Amino acid sequence: MKEDVVSLSLRRFLKPSALDVVFVPSPEEVPDSEFGERQERLRAAMRLRGIDAAFLYSDHFNGAYTSYYGRFKPNDTSAAIFLPVEGEPTLAVQPEGGNVPKAKAWSPIKDIVTFQEFLVRGGQPGIRKIAIQAYQQCLVPGMNILPWTLLKGLRSTYPDAELTDGHDLVTPLMQVMSDNEIALMRKAAEIGDASITVAFETIDVGVTEIEVSAAGQCAAVKRGGEILCAFLVASYRWPGDPNVIRASKISSHKKIERGDTVHMDFHLGYKGYMNDVARLVHTEGAPEEAIERQQRRVEALEAMIKSIKPGMEVRELAQVAAPILGYVPSRFGETMGLYGCMGSSFEGGMGVMGAGGLTSDLPCKLRPNICLDLGLGGLETIVLVTKTGAEKLNRAPFILK
């Protein structure tokens, strides 16, 4: 391997322009006008609910909200957009890491200040109700994670305002993607497929799991991808279950052996948009029972994808898969392309940014231009709901040979 992940990452972060490291779409990819349209859609929803302002918080791990409404993802710190129903929005950032000049260079929002300046200059008149949207705790749907110091500062700046949860207000507006966003999702999927393919070509008896993972990471970074929460490679023998393997370990120096099944689960981003792709490889000598079981999961996943139609509920997909699998699957479902942001209800989660599934017993009607993160038995793929069905964004075969 000519270049490792560390050297590739350092070369990216040592480029002279700060604009190279923010991982948000350029004005050519998503014009400033689209961000204004997003803000106006949110304002319209706020008026209907009697909300005077929204406070949209992001950090370096979950940058969806400031990315979506202000083209800014904080670098190793945090940021927030204060969007009043009337008047101009404010982007507040931490001064560390050069965030102020980055925000001024990229964001269409003109009022850019530090958090300290935002809180010290006092509140705007007429603000009686503020909707707060922040990182959604994976295991507690709808719970916002906002630093205590910021919450305390907001209460001090707006002592008479009611602070309310903005999850059901903000996230539904983000679920349906524009054509520009879909193009970014396609690029993220292209990078995901390339990283999985390069990693697959590395697999051989005697090669370690971590070497396979590193090959996939290098392939992603070389193509402009961002490494997110997982580039897991796990090898195991039947009757091992890839879901259990994934949950119980990380890539290690374990060498791949003849007869192993290798599970690769790669989670990457491109300009703030995620791709979560997982594939399986059966090495020579793998038991037929293992191969047959995984083939059933592939058939079930393909059947789910073929059955997708706008207007159906996500939980209906479980009933499509059940006769093939012999059980009702529970982890798959709606996600949004922006990582750090989830659907209105979900289980598990992305750990970082945006992939996660709805449980099969929760209703959620599908609309065109929504992405689904579908997963069964160590297989994950992103599909786009269209007006007539679904399109696979990831094209790599489910079982690589």
Homologous superfamily assigned to 5-174: Creatinase/prolidase N-terminal domain (3.40.350.10)
Residue 358 has pLDDT above 90, yes or no: no
Q: Average pLDDT, stretch 306-331?
A: 82
**Is residue 308 within 8 Å of 385, Cβ to Cβ?**
yes
Distance between CA 280 and CA 45 in Å, rounded?
43
Please provide the size of the chain in residues.
401
Alpha helices, DSSP H only, in 121-203?
148-157, 167-175, 179-202
**Nearest Cα to Cα of residue 136 among 171, 90, 177:** 171
For residue 239, whether the previous peptide bond is cis, meaning omega lies within 30 degrees of 0, is yes
pLDDT, position 76: 76
pLDDT, position 303: 94
Per-position DSSP letters for 324-385, written without gaps between them: HHTS----BEEE-SBTT---SS-BS--SSSS--BB-TTS--B--TT-EEEEEETTEEEEEEE
Residue 348 has pLDDT above 80, yes or no: no
Residue with more model confidence, 388 or 59: 388
If pLDDT is split at 50, 70 and 90, which confidence band does 192 have? Answer: very high
pLDDT, position 331: 55
- In the Cβ-directed half-sphere of 236, how many Cα atoms lie within 13 Å? 22
Q: Which residues pair with 114 in a beta bridge?
A: 93
| Domain 179-400 in this protein, CATH class | alpha beta
Residue with more model confidence, 244 or 222: 222
Contacts of 17 (CB under 8 A, 6+ apart): none
pTM of the model as a whole:
0.85
pLDDT, position 373: 81
Does residue 387 sit in helix, strand or coil? coil
pLDDT, position 236: 87
Contacts of 1 (CB under 8 A, 6+ apart): 211, 214, 215, 218
Contacts of 232 (CB under 8 A, 6+ apart): 213, 246, 250, 251, 263, 264, 265, 266
Cα–Cα distances in angstroms (integers) from residue 25 to residues 96, 184, 193, 348, in the given order: 22, 8, 20, 27
Residue 45 has pLDDT above 50, yes or no: yes
Residue 100 has pLDDT above 80, yes or no: yes
232-276 confidence digits (pLDDT tens)? 998 888 777 666 666 566 788 999 999 999 999 998 888 888 898
**Is residue 344 within 8 Å of 172, Cβ to Cβ?**
yes
Characterize 264-302 residue by residue with b for buried, 16 or more Cβ atoms within 10 angstroms of its Cβ, and e for exposed. Answer: bbbbbbbbbbbbbbbbbbbbeebeeebeeebeebbebbe
Alpha helices, DSSP H only, in 268-311?
288-307
329-347 confidence digits (pLDDT tens)? 765 544 444 444 433 222 2
What are the residue boundaries of the structural domains of the chain, listed by start?
5-174, 179-400
Residue 4 has pLDDT above 80, yes or no: no
Q: Which range is least confidently modeled, 10-24, 172-186, 293-307, 371-385?
A: 10-24
pLDDT mean across residues, the chain: 81
265-293 confidence digits (pLDDT tens)? 998 888 888 898 999 999 999 999 889 98
Cα–Cα distances in angstroms (integers) from residue 257 to residues 200, 205, 206, 281, 287, in the given order: 15, 5, 6, 12, 13
pLDDT, position 123: 85
pLDDT, position 136: 55
Q: Which range is least confidently modeled, 9-18, 54-63, 149-158?
A: 9-18
Cα–Cα distances in angstroms (integers) from residue 324 to residues 94, 155, 355, in the given order: 51, 54, 25
Instruction: For residue 249, report the phi and psi dihedrals to the nearest 5 degrees.
Output: -155, 170
